[in-house]
Chain A
Amino acid sequence: MIEIRNVSKWYGQTQVLKGCSTHVAKGEVVVVCGPSGSGKSTLIKCVNGLEPFAQGAITVDGISVSDPKTDLPRLRARVGMVFQHFELFPHMSVEQNLALAQVKVLGRSPDEAAARGVALLDRVGLREHATKFPGQLSGGQQQRVAIARALAMDPVCLLFDEPTSALDPEMIGEVLDVMVELAQEGMTMMVVTHEMGFARKVAKRVVFMDHGEIVEDAPTNAFFDAPASERAKTFLSRILHH
């Protein structure tokens, strides 16, 4: 589904991604972790072309992201993304947030879009908040709306960029619950997160990044039980022991 081959990226003189290669097969969940500044957010933003990259290739569902001939908006419409800071549109109600791209990008009728929106809000447990504005919701609720907004496009895969990092601890669970459910239903997901419990529960593989490199790409159990590199060991001991 997602194929990342030898991707490198520079900001000026600084190389932020160094020959990164990995993949996510259909129906798989892959967790990407690593210390801050390791390039994991940059890498996931390359997958739907939000960040350009200088070298290498990424294909999603067989379509190249960096090919200038690719209709990028059309490709992005099929790849859902959930952001650290939710990024709901603050001037629109929850239902409008869910309907906008369905109508403007997929060409659904407003009624159709609204019906799909309500169904998804129901699923993330927020049906009664449809007419509220994002500012009236808690962080956890906003992130669940953001997931519903991504799902409304019927994506072939979902990208999560630290979806729980901006949340108060008591709200992390409600968002992870939705994500675990999605994973169990077979949604293809690439997830940048520090939530190792989530990784253990649903991830097929864990990709560990440091200084712009993919240091390890291992099946979940192998990664947690016997990390191969010193850097992964240090990282795990830091985040698991506090």
Chain B
Amino acid sequence: MGEFDFSVWQPSLPFIRDGLLFTLRLTLVAMTGGIVIGTLLALARLSPIAPLSRLAGAYVDLMRSIPLVLVILWFFLVIPFITGSPVGAETSAIITFTAFEAAFYCEIMRSGIQSVPRGQVHAAHALGLGQAQTMIHVILPQAMRNMLPVLLTQTIVLFQDTSLVYAIGAKDMLKAADVVGKNYNRPVEMIVLSALIYFAICFSLSLAVKQLQNRVAIIR
């Protein structure tokens, strides 16, 4: 193979950018959808209605016991079977990640909700707030704040995991790097580039989370 030739990075940039945009979009949609559905799942898990709680628990256990790659492949093959028409790798990836991450965000939100002291519930009830109002105005904002660093850390993991959509051929950043690498016959250089970009983004996000943690700690 000879010496490294990093000049391939220059022409690859437009492709990498498009791939990165998809990776970021996938991360943001899966995070937002995952937190919303995860919160609903957490409420179901903590619900006094036993069947609801068990159903949510079973869903979380299932998702957490299967490797993500398998879930990605499985959804990719099963969704067209259910809907009757192929949905494309990108849409399939978005649905899969939202569904999968919801299980992880569920567990985070569940411990967040449980971290809010019982006295807060009493105080809200004593003021005449109903169950739903108490949850929306008193419990969830505090749960969210208590869990913010963990939620963001999970999002960084999610950002890295999106590279697994490679398995179904969705055009994320890793796939773009791979394609360019093959076209220019410089696969190693392109893998190095994508690794650097992943590292730069994840490392700065981690630093940001640490900063945030300190700030939250002061407010409390």
Contact = CB atoms under 8 A, between A and B. Distances in A.
Interface of A: 45, 48, 50, 73-81, 83, 85, 87-91, 100-101, 104-106, 133, 135, 149-150, 153
B213 interface: no
B127 A76 contact: yes
A80 to B, nearest CB: 8
Contacts of B123: 81, 83, 87-89
14 contacts: A50-B125, A50-B126, A73-B129, A73-B130, A87-B119, A87-B120, A89-B124, A89-B138, A90-B142, A91-B141, A101-B129, A133-B219, A135-B220, A150-B127
B220 A104 contact: no
B128 A77 contact: yes
B182 interface: no
B126 to A, nearest CB: 4
B145 interface: yes
A75 B141 CA distance: 26
Contacts of A76: 125-128
Interface residues of B, number: 19
Interface string B199-220: 0000000000000000000011
A105 B142 CA distance: 20
B133 interface: yes
B192 to A, nearest CB: 44
Contacts of B138: 89
Q: Which secondary structure dominates where chain B touches chain A? A: helix
Contacts of A90: 142, 220
Given A90-B142, A133-B219, A135-B220, A105 B122 contact: no
B128 A73 contact: yes
B64 interface: no
Interface in B139-178: 141-142, 145
A155 to B, nearest CB: 10
Contacts of A149: 127
B54 interface: no
A103 to B, nearest CB: 10
Nearest to A100: B137
A81 B126 contact: yes
B125 to A, nearest CB: 6
Contact of B133 (A78, A104, A150): A104
Contacts of B219: 133, 135
A88 B138 CA distance: 10
Nearest to B120: A87
A81 B123 CA distance: 8
B134 to A, nearest CB: 9
A105 B129 contact: yes
Chain A CB count within 10 A is highest, among B126, B137, B142, for B126
A99 to B, nearest CB: 11
A159 B45 CA distance: 33
Nearest to B131: A73
Most B CB atoms within 10 A — which of A45, A80, A105?
A105
Contacts of A91: 141-142, 145
Contacts of B127: 76-77, 100-101, 105, 149-150, 153
A104 B126 contact: no
Contact of B137 (A74, A85, A104): A104
Contacts of B220: 90, 135
